């Protein structure tokens, strides 16, 4: 650094942060944008150089066993970074929730609507569209029990029932 700063930098090596509390040099004296950019670049360079010097002097340096590259072990962050948005507020209870709490009413535990179908290898609904209970409905070929079919043709018990005639 070329100038001695009135206030020293503060560091948070866990976040790789260097804070300069000193005011920026006067940009009013600079007449062009290029001069202003040069002043800001010089200030940023001094701050970055101070951060690198602090890292090399305070943090342990080791060599990686995989590829032999140098590594710096950073300490834990000291500063709590601010949130982008405020902490969400707790939602107010509805009238029903207040009433249920007052009377001690608890919700019913819903049974799972999905079951695992080992044939398909996927979770499917118990009932309804593409459900487990509709396994054989869409088959293009259905096996017929010969014994039940013969009994139905003879008109004996079992087999297909004939429609009753109207009297």
Q: Tell me if 153 is assigned to some domain.
A: no
* b/e burial code for range 6-39 (CB count within 10 A of at least 16 → b): eeebebbbeeeebebeeeeeeeeeeeeeeeeeee
Q: Tell me if 66 is assigned to some domain.
A: yes
**CA–CA–CA angle 12, 8, 3 (5° rounding):** 125
| CA dist., res. 139 & res. 135, Å (int) | 8
Q: Tell me if 157 is assigned to some domain.
A: no
pLDDT for 82:
83
Indicate the helix (H) or strand (E) that contains 102: helix 95-103
pLDDT for 164:
47
Query: Which domain, by its residues, includes 118?
Result: 113-138
* 3-class secondary structure, 134: helix
Does 68 lie in the same domain as 119? no
| CA dist., res. 3 & res. 23, Å (int) | 13
pLDDT for 128:
83
Q: Tell me if 119 is assigned to some domain.
A: yes
Interval 6-29: pLDDT, tens: 888 999 999 999 988 888 877 777
pLDDT for 135:
64
Interval 43-102: pLDDT, tens: 899 999 999 999 999 989 898 888 889 899 999 998 887 889 988 999 999 999 999 999
pLDDT for 156:
55
Across the chain, where does the E strand assignment appear? Answer: 10-12, 17-19, 61-63, 70-72, 114-117, 122-125
Predicted TM-score (pTM) of the model is 0.46
Number of domains present in the structure of the chain: 2
Interval 115-130: pLDDT, tens: 888 888 888 888 888 8
φ, ψ for residue 51, nearest 5 deg: -65, -45
- Domain stop point among 72, 90, 125: 72
Q: How far is CA 76 from the centre of its chain?
A: 24
pLDDT for 12:
92
| CA dist., res. 18 & res. 45, Å (int) | 12
Indicate the helix (H) or strand (E) that contains 84: none
């Amino acid at each position: 650094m070329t100038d001695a700063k009135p206030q020293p930098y503060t560091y948070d090596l866990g976040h790789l942060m260097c804070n300069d509390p000193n005011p920026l040099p006067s940009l009013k004296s600079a007449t062009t944008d290029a001069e202003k950019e040069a002043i800001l670049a010089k200030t940023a360079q001094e701050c970055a150089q101070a951060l690198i010097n602090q890292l090399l002097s305070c943090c342990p340096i080791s060599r990686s066993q995989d590829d032999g590259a140098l590594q710096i072990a950073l300490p834990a962050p000291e500063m709590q970074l601010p949130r982008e948005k405020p902490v969400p507020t707790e939602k107010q209870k509805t009238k029903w929730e207040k009433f249920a709490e007052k009377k001690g009413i608890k919700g019913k535990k819903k049974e799972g609507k999905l079951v695992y179908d080992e044939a398909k290898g996927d979770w499917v609904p118990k009932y309804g569209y593409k459900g487990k209970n509709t396994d054989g409905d869409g088959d293009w070929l259905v096996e017929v029990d010969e014994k039940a079919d013969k009994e139905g043709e003879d008109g004996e018990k079992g087999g297909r029932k004939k429609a009753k005639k109207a009297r």
